Amino acid sequence: MNQTSVTLLLSVVFAVSLSGCGGATPESLAKESTAQMNELATVLENAKSVDEAKPKIEAIVAKFTDLKKRVDALKLSEERKKEIEATVKPDMEKAVSRLMTAMMKITATDPLGMPKLGEIMQKIAATK
């Protein structure tokens, strides 16, 4: 995955992380978003093919979509967003790095699955 994709993925995750409603705080949702990234990495690390991982990945995409709805429900100031980003950035960068490694591994094992994986990642990016 190239640098532009990584940057887009980080921005999507930060945007999803900065929401809060229904009793959840922006901080707890930021942690939830990081957990989803780690869950996605785990799924890819343990899968033998993209097809095998796809149902679990689709469930994670649904969770990101739900987080997006919560993002849209709350308007945070730019200052507040920056505060939250600063608190989750180290963990999120680790999660994204882990995800990138897992994606490279699965595409090496299942090169024909790369287009499918790309489509799935675009769905996550669409939750921005």
Task: Please report the pLDDT score of residue 29 as a whole number.
Answer: 77
Mean pLDDT, rounded, for 100-109: 90
User: What is the tens place of the pLDDT at every residue in 41-73?
Assistant: 999 999 999 999 989 998 998 888 888 777 667
Q: Where are the domains of the chain?
A: 3-125
pLDDT higher for 1 or 103? 103
Residue 87 above 50 pLDDT?
yes
Q: Using CA atoms, how far apart are residues 112 and 2, in angstroms rounded to an integer?
A: 18
The whole-number pLDDT of residue 127 equals 67
Strand residue runs (E) in 1-128: none
Q: State the average pLDDT over residues 97-104.
A: 91
Q: Which two tokens stand for residue 12?
A: 């999507």
CA angle 79, 85, 90 (to 5 degrees): 150
Nearest to 44 by CA among 88, 97, 102: 102
